[in-house]
Chain A
Amino acid sequence: MSSLLITRLRQGKRTLPFPEAEPNLPDRFRGLPIIGESQCPSGCKACVDACPTDAIANDGELRMDLGRCLFCAECSNACPQGAIKFGRQYRLATTERADLIVSAGQALKLTHRLAGDIHRVLGRSLKLRQVSAGGCNGCESDVNVLNTVVFDLGRFGIQFVASPRHADGLLITGPVTRNMRLALEKTYEAVPDPKIVIAVGACAISGGPFRDHPEVLNGAETILPVDLFVPGCPPHPITILDGLLRLLGKIKL
Chain B
Amino acid sequence: MTSVLPSFHNGEPIALGSIPSVPMREFRAAIISAVNSGSRLSALFGTQMENGRIQLIGILADPLTGSLSSIGSEVGESYPCLTLDCPQAHWFEREIAEQWNVEPQGHPWLKPIRFHPPYRRSVAAQTPLPGATEFFTVGGDEVHEVAVGPVHAGIIEPGHFRFQCHGERVFHLEISLGYQHRGIEPALVGGPGKRTIHLIETLSGDTSIGHATAYCEALEGLSGTAAPARAQVLRGIALELERLANHTGDLGALAADVGYLPTAAYCGRIRGDFLNLTAAICGSRFGRGMLRPGGVLFDLDEHLAAELSRRLDMALRDVHSAVRLMWDAPSVQARFEETGTVSRRTCDALGLVGPVARGCGVERDIRQDFPSGIFRFAQIPISKWDTGDVFARAWVRWLEIQRSGTFVREQLASLPQGPGRAAVGPLRPAHLVVSLIEGWRGEIAHVAITDDSGRFGRYKVVDPSFRNWMGLAIAMRDQQISDFPLCNKSFNLSYCGHDL
Contacts and interface: CB of A to CB of B under 8 A. Distances in A.
**Mutual binders A and B:** yes
Given A52-B195, A148-B269, A209-B199, A140 B283 contact: no
Interface string B322-342: 101100100000000000000
A137 interface: yes
B204 to A, nearest CB: 6
Contacts, number: 180
Contact of B202 (A149, A209, A214): A209
B155 A144 contact: yes
B204 A29 contact: no
B63 interface: no
Given A179-B181, A233-B202, 13 more contacts: A3-B328, A7-B321, A28-B298, A130-B154, A133-B179, A136-B204, A137-B495, A142-B285, A162-B154, A179-B178, A179-B179, A210-B187, A215-B182
Interface in A45-102: 49-53, 70-74, 77, 86
Contact of B157 (A4, A137, A164): A137
B205 A137 contact: yes
B322 A7 contact: yes
Interface stretch (B134-142, B272-280, B349-357, B371-379): B272-280
B153 to A, nearest CB: 4
Interface in B466-487: none
Contacts of B153: 162-163
B8 to A, nearest CB: 31
A73 B289 contact: yes
A216 B321 contact: no
A177 interface: yes
A216 B180 CA distance: 9
Contact of A134 (B127, B154, B182): B182
Nearest to A211: B195
Interface stretch (A8-16, A105-113, A221-229, A245-253): A8-16
A143 B151 contact: no
Interface in A177-231: 177-180, 182-183, 187, 208-210, 213-216
Contact of B283 (A7, A29, A49, A136): A29
Interface string B154-197: 11111000000000000000000011111110010000001101
Nearest to B307: A27
Contact of B280 (A8, A26, A72, A208): A26
Contacts of B429: none
A165 to B, nearest CB: 12
A179 B321 contact: no
Contacts of A178: 127, 181
B198 A135 contact: no
B369 interface: no
